[in-house]
Amino acid sequence: MGKSISLFGTSADPPTIGHKKILEELSKIYSFTISYVSNNPKKNHKENISIRSLLLKTLIEDLDNPKILFNQSISSQWAVESINKCKRIYEFNNLDFVIGSDLIKDIFYWKNFDKIIEEVSFLVILREGYPVESNTIKMLETYNVKFRISTIKIPKISSSKFRSNFNYSNLPNSLIDIVKKNNLYESTKFVE
């Protein structure tokens, strides 16, 4: 396939308006964006993966964009496995792995880092408070990592910030009822 494809794995605990904006913007750049929920081995997740998958799937269905696909079957806690599953299912070779600037330094320690950098290019989404520092750029270049820093602007929100202040306005509208009805992300601090 000669199409441009992005792979956007996320812990989505929960998916926020930031995730929504990223998906919308990726659909303007790529022929297809494939998204899934994974367990990050370095994070303690508030809700289990099936709940988080339901939330991301609901968000993607609500976007109703044929260029944004949800495929939980490619999920793995290891990026290399998700990349390989994705390439087998969709039978293409050109793939951009979407990653936040808060995680870009971690890739050097990922399982099978050497294989990952042969398989994908990275699209780095800048998150406020997490600039890509010059020493990180030098390391990426030293290891011949293919990467681009995105110009996508995302809201200043994260899943962890949502969990700490529980402001429903930071959730996509399609998820608010599900979160409320199922008492997800319970907190003592409710802000409407």
Mean pLDDT in the chain?
92
Query: pLDDT for 98-119, tens place per residue?
Result: 999 999 999 999 999 999 999 9
Contact predicate 26/33, CB 8 Å:
yes
Neighbours of 3 (CB within 10 A): 10
Please, which residues have CB within 8 angstroms of residue 132's CB and are 6 or more apart in sequence? 101, 104, 124, 126, 149
Which pLDDT score is estimated for 187? 53
Helix ranges, the chain (H): 17-29, 49-63, 79-90, 113-119, 134-142, 159-165, 173-181
Domains in the chain, CATH or no CATH each? 5-156 (3.40.50.620)
User: Residue 14, preceding bond cis, omega within 30 degrees?
Assistant: yes
Contact predicate 159/12, CB 8 Å:
yes
Q: What percent of the chain lies above the pLDDT cut of 70?
A: 96
pLDDT at 74 over 70: yes
Contact predicate 16/162, CB 8 Å:
yes
Query: pLDDT for 5-31, tens place per residue?
Result: 999 999 999 999 999 999 999 999 999
Nearest to 34 by CA among 75, 62, 1, 2: 75
Which pLDDT score is estimated for 171? 93
